[in-house]
Structure 1
Amino acid sequence: MTKEKIEEIIVVEGKDDTKRLKEVFDVDTIETRGSAINEAILEQIEHAQETRGVIVFTDPDFSGEKIRKTIMEAIPDAQHAFLSRRMAAPQKRGASLGVEHASDEAIIDALHKVVTPAENDDPKIARQTLLDYGLIAGAQARERRERLGDELKIGYTNAKQLEKRLTMFRITEAQLHEAMRKVEETL
């Protein structure tokens, strides 16, 4: 069976992620080797974006989000794929979350639902709307944000990052409403 070829270069954190992706796809990767991305790696990612395009596919943890943020600042038109924290959970106790732990299905689903952030002048979703949905404050706010991030394929965010991420991925009030309807059904 031949593996599906991914045209873009996937940016991952390390060699275990590369190995795991190559088990599922015919793919080329750039490894950041940790959250402190140096200038040479950023230049490599920029060049890859200009020639083939890149998809940022980092772990759904603090380090992964830090890498993603650094790349978004340097290469705002890079595409992004996300895994939920649940999908990236390790089998062994004590191991950290990671792309390398995801199932074939989770990896395929994430890379088939790649999203591209875009600059826009669209009106932002009002903070009050996010409060009304219980996404910023309240007993289940964190769980709601985590499930919303999974539903919209924008990754996990804290309360501060949520508004920015919704704007960056051009999520409309209608999309938010539909996603929250599904989130409410699972709570």
Structure 2
Amino acid sequence: MRLTRESILEDVRNYLRVHVEELGVLKPLHDALKEHRHDGDAACDSRCPLIAVSPVVLDERDSVLHFFHVPTRSWVLYADFVEPSTESLAHSAYQILVETLGMDSVWLPPQPQPPLLIDVSTVPGDRNRCIPPRTCYTFRYLFRALSTQLNCPEFTKFGTKWISIRDVRDSLLRKRIAVAAMRPG
């Protein structure tokens, strides 16, 4: 199965069923997915929104896994652009965990659920190459793990760190993670 515009649109609709108040922010994405045609080609011009995914890993101590981002010298949630060959956005987030950290036996494949959060940001353009700035939508999916499973030498070499929910910088994401932490795993 291959990721389609329709499956992304379904994720957006499922998300908006839970978070109706975000319709205004996500309407440009919804409309672009509904109206735009690639004619079977995943390549797109500079007007199309970019789609990224991010696994949000929560442990039993209510800590969130962060990665060291060398260019900004800060701890961030890992995110990457979606590969067209992936089967779903949630599976793409799962693949990030497996490919980046290995240890695929630790991660449970994602269950059908809407994203925890869809972030909206702007990716800077490149004037020298006549590339305008683009809107990027990052779909964040929740994964749970036991900290003891991830505190081994193989894992720590990846520049990872557990950060308390209260120290997550984005206030909306912090709130969503805190609510998810209260639900049983």
* Same fold, judged at TM 0.5 (above): no
Normalised by the length of structure 1, the TM-score is: 0.26
Normalised by the length of structure 2, the TM-score is: 0.26
Higher RCO (C-alpha 8 Å, min separation 6): 2
